[in-house]
Amino acid sequence: MNNSLRPVLVLFVLLTVITGGIYPLAVTAISQAVFSHQANGSLIEKDGKPVGSALIGQQFDAPYYFWGRVSATTPNPYNAQNSGASNLGPTNPALTDEVKARIAALHDADPSNTTPPPVDLVTSSGSGLDPDITPAAAAYQAERVAKARGLTLDQVNGLIAQNTSGRQLSVFGEPRVNVLRLNLALDGIKPMH
């Protein structure tokens, strides 16, 4: 028995050192060297202090800010520890009620806007944490934000254009606007608090 136990223990120790020590250290070193921004959480900073992540949405509901997608994390919006979809199907009355409530909130914030809101402003994403909206969703809110901030529509549309990211590798995904970056750019032009 002693002869068969020794190779098992040696293999156990060797694999523990490789997979529990060497491999994680190598992956961490490579990620810090090649993708340090992403490896450190894709943090967005303002005045040298982190204010959020480019990967997790934040709650904005003041009329002078752009609003992001609805968060499906409850009870706290955009809670990364509770990431997940609402799992409400298209025939579920609860989904209909949520969409109607969001449409009403958008209309209350800008009664003069009678166009139907883009779908990403009234539904949540699969993770419930989506930090981005479509350029159409940003354009839908542009007039409200411009009025609330005392800016011209051209100024706000210019900020939307500056903060619109294209498709990844020109093929994958759709153009998108990071709501936190856009709102920080607005605060850089005309702070509201």
Tokens of 61: 């509901």
Check whether 29 has a pLDDT greater than 80: yes
pTM over 0.75: yes
pLDDT tens digits along 66-118: 999 988 877 788 887 777 777 778 888 988 998 999 999 999 999 999 999 99
H helical segments located in 57-177: 93-109, 135-149, 153-162
Residue 53 bridge partners (DSSP):
43
Radius of gyration of the chain (CA): 23
